[in-house]
Structure 1
Amino acid sequence: MNKTGSAAKVKLNSFDDLFGDGQPQAGIEQVQEIALSELHEFKGHPFKVLDDEKMQETVESVREHGVLMPGIARPRAEGGYEIIAGHRRRHACELVGLDTMPMFIRNYTDDEATIIMVDSNIQREDILPSEKAKAYRMKYEAMKHQGSRAGGLTLDELGGAAGESAKTVQRYIWISRLSEPLLDMVDSGKIGIMQAVDISFLSEDAQQWVLVAIQDTNAVITKQQSAMLKESDKKGELTFPMVRMLLEKEKPVERKVVIKTERINSYFPDTYSTDDIEKIIFQLLDNWKNTQ
């Protein structure tokens, strides 16, 4: 897999080109102190800015040391600047009570800005499935535009910044088609990733039926059930009553019994083979069952 970030597509030659090294360079604007009121969220920004423990750590760092790494933004046609990287730092500055934040101002295109925005966040450990799904979808669309001009696009390139495989990236792109309430259930663990992939192939009406059925029955969908939902909807046979029936269907109890070899050997002579022992055990179990 090519683990070089796909931001290379935007013709950045090094880390210093992206974030700056504080040294004057021809044709590259230097760090500017921009009023927080002039910094606006990236359109469709998929990553949530939460007042959680991580944010508190960022706040303490900004309070003690200031913003160590400037953000990146681009001018907006309607005035002010659109943040490409630095949404969490901007919020930390607000909480600390600062009025400005150091920023690199660059004239990136929509596609270039989207790729940098995603790659600057996608490697975080605390990203929710819904955030990753939306981010990969946005990056896919941006790289697809560039790919049409540069001779192709692979999903390995798409996941390169986070070191994720093409298969993983494809799953997240599929999941991005889920409705917001279903994405919330994926984030909370109510719906598993593989089940979410199956449900993402359902029509909007069918997704709504699944949502209502889960809310009404508190069902936990198995991979077998999600596959059945996908297949039924593909055939045009899925209805709300069928969704309810499939999700309310009693699931088989999964049990695993391990019997230690030493315990088994105490009942059988050494001359008995494994097949002999198994036949006797099941014969005894059948006799027991018939007497119940």
Structure 2
Amino acid sequence: MAGRKSDFTLTKLDDLFSTQEQRDEEKLSKIRDIPLAEIDDFPDHPFKVRDDEDMAQLIESIKERGVITPATVRQKEDGRYELISGHRRKRACELAGFDTLRCEVVELNRDEATILMVESNYQRSQILPSEKAYAYKMRLEAMKRQAGRPSKENGVPVGHDSLVGKSRELLAAEGQDSNTQIQRYIRLTNLVPELLEYVDEGRIKMRPAVELSFLDEDSQRDVVDEIDLNDATPSHDQTIRMRKFFEEGKLTTEAIQAIMSEEKPNQREKIVLRGDRVRQLIPKNIPISQTEDFVCKALEHYNKFLRSRADRDSR
């Protein structure tokens, strides 16, 4: 019996193997100097580019040696380029007066580009909570789209779907944050900008911030007003009660004011001294390093004077 002719053919050795030199040349063909005017930042890029001391050092390095590690871009349908990694290098080139940026052009779809963008920025030495929050959210959404829409069997909400949980587990395995911590970071994206800035500044800790993220925008802005008015942030216990009141439909502006006006166990009344007035009372020959000691001694002497006068008046 005649057998069916096989479609299998051996690949030529020349096609199967390539030298490292050939692979390097192929990669180099994708590296080019692209005009800065043709490069767009990644949409909703979560990582801030700061004109700080590190940026100044990067500018000097680029002036001396150029861009050593090319940025990564992908070409868009309109012919322009979308920056995936290298936002700081692009900014440094702009400030250094360069017209172009050395880039590697890669072929990626939007979700693949999002994942690469987040991964490349995790290498930064300092990442703010807000940056992590939006980076985790963007990457999880990209991973979810790549895997397909999760099912809603048994009425399980999409936010708690097993696929989302699995994606968080994968992220947790890759980085330093646990699954639970990643959940908390993503909750921060529900905060109004003012509260999120307080988190970045360290004025509000993670767990109180997570509780506040469950409040609606109006309630969050009431909290911001109280923080600004009293120069005090809510404790974890206070935010838990705010969230409970909100879920019960009882969180009013007055309720927030009442909760925020409570004195916390570790909270002491602050004494505010106007710097200009205090400086006028301190002799010019007192060094700044000795200012606190001078003020304390002056207060001690004044208290002794008040006690002495009170004793005289009581006689």
| TM-score bin, normalised by smaller chain | 0.7 to 0.9
CA displacement, residues 146-197 of structure 1 (integer Å, 9 cap, x when unaligned)? 1327994421222455332211111100111111111111111221111111
2:201 maps to 188
RMSD of aligned residue pairs (Cα, Å): 2.3
Equivalent residues of 2:212, 2:243 under 8 A apart: yes
Residue deviations 1:225-254 (CA, integer Å, cap 9, x gap): 111111111111101110111011011248
Q: CA deviation at 1:78?
A: 3.2
Partner of 1:175: 188
Tell me which residue corresponds to 2:70: 70
Specify which structure has the higher proportion of helix: 2
Aligned to 1:132: 132
Q: Which amino acid aligns with 1:135?
A: A
SS of the aligned residue for 1:230 comes to helix
Partner of 2:57: 57
**Counterpart of 1:118?**
118
CA distance in 1, matches of 2:33, 2:255: 59
1:201 is aligned to 214
Partner of 2:85: 85
Compare relative contact order (CA 8 Å, sep 6+) and give the higher one, 1 or 2: 1
| Count of residue correspondences | 234
User: Share of identical aligned residues, percent?
Assistant: 40
TM-score (norm 1): 0.75
- State the one-letter code of the partner of 1:227: I
1:30 maps to what in 2? 30
1:69-128 residue CA offsets vs partner (Å, 9 max, x unmatched): 101111123331110001000111111111111111122111111111111112322111
Q: Which residue of 2 aligns with 1:4?
A: none
In structure 2, the partner of 1:214 is: 227
CA gap of 1:160–1:77, structure 2 versus 1, over 3 A, is farther
Distance 1:22 1:64 in 2: 29
- How does 1:98-117 map onto structure 2 within 5 Å? 98-117=98-117
Q: Deviations over 1:39-63 (max 9, x none)?
A: 1110001111110011112112111
What is aligned with 1:230?
A: 243
**Cα-to-partner distance string for 1:247-284 (whole Å, 9 max, x where unaligned):** 110112489xxxxxxxxxxxxxxxxxxxxxxxxxxxxx
Deviates more, 1:154-163 or 1:83-92: 154-163
| Offset from partner CA, 1:10-34 (integer Å, 9 cap, x none) | xxxxxxxxxxx981348x9521110
Structure 1 stretches lacking a partner, 5+ long = 1-20, 256-292
- Give the corresponding residue for 2:178: 165
Give the secondary-structure state (helix, strand or coil) at the position aligned to 1:176.
helix
- Which residue identity is paired with 1:242? A
Aligned mates of 1:254, 1:189 — CA distance in 2:
17
Q: 1:160 to 1:97 in 2, by over 3 A?
A: farther
